[in-house]
Amino acid sequence: MEIAIDLGKWKSYVVMEDNGKIVKEGYTGTTKEEFFAFFGQVNNPKIIVEASSTVNRIANIFEGYDLTVAHPAKVKLIAQLVKKTDKVDTHTIMDLYKKDYLPKSYLPSKEIRDMRDICRERSFLVGQRTAIKNKIRYQSYCLGIEFKTWTKRNIKMLKEEPKLRLLMTQLESITHTITKYERMIKDAAVEDANARLIDTIPGIGKVSALIIASEIGDVNRFPSEENIFAYTGLVPRIYQSGNKEWKGHITKGNGFLKWTLVECVGIHIMNSTDSPITAAYERIRERRGNKKAKIAAARHMLRAIYYMLKRNQNFDSYLGGRRMR
């Protein structure tokens, strides 16, 4: 039994087929109870969905089932439709799946999805904390209070100012929550084999190691280093016309992973002056400037991570077996 689902936040369209014949179709709620009530008595169904913001919810609902996730952008390229409805979309997904034309999207395991969630939530909270700090700095400036660092003495001074007291309470609360998340992340990083390998690179701590490991997921889904560079957004766009070819800005890719790598590179080049990653950064900085050099160095770091995970090597072992280009 094949079941194609066009996902909606609260309502989804379902098409059920058995041996090429439609058994049932229609709308149902996007909950586990409503899905299985709609399905009825079905043994080991093959479920096909299109990747969307609700796919994690669906992955949790159908954990343990044969679940195929379609790549939304590639499906649109293959099936250019004038009339677009939930019903048409669901039948299109089903038809592409049966003809083995359905472009699939990677669905991480529940363990990796959970790791991603805590890492991304921690990152969101850090952004919120930065916003609160900026508000405090602005209000302090307006009140004529000057300070440079968040020392205990300065924090005590700021908490004594009535107009800043509420903001300081918010800052303490969110910092406490971030600390809890970071403790969870560090514990998870110790248990995760890939994070432990990544953590051997100078400049990458346990928090960043788990972020990188969870965003990459199964490294074997990338056939080559160029594929993981493109996924991360660390390659320039190539434009070609006739015999002319030129490079544009780097692609978007996984912005969270790219940002994390660039941040780690900044720490790496300050503390590992004899590293080939730092050597690559210095060489490119002289010709192209600091910003482009950091992106290039992040690509060198990602190349190291890619082969370390492929070969189950730590950073020192990787350098012993391969010179970085």
- 295 Cβ partners below 8 Å, 6+ apart? 234, 250, 262
Q: Reduce the DSSP state of residue 220 to 3 states and report it.
A: helix
Instruction: Count Cβ atoms below 10 Å from residue 208 Cβ, excluding itself.
Output: 22
Helix (H) or strand (E) holding 270: helix 255-271
CA distance 199 to 208: 8
| Helix 162-191, helix 152-159: angle, nearest 10 | 140
pTM over 0.85: no
Annotate 96-145 with three-state secondary structure.
Answer: HHHCCCCCECCCCCHHHHHHHHHHHHHHHHHHHHHHHHHHHHHHHHHHCC
Beta bridge partners of 67: 47
pLDDT string in tens for the chain (325-residue length): 899 988 888 899 999 998 889 989 999 998 889 998 999 888 888 999 887 777 788 888 888 888 988 877 666 655 555 556 778 888 888 888 888 877 787 888 899 999 999 999 999 999 999 999 999 999 999 999 989 999 999 999 999 999 999 999 999 999 999 999 999 999 999 999 999 999 999 999 999 999 999 999 999 999 999 999 999 998 765 544 455 544 545 567 899 999 999 999 999 999 898 899 999 999 999 888 998 899 999 999 999 999 999 999 999 999 885 544 4
Helix (H) or strand (E) holding 253: none
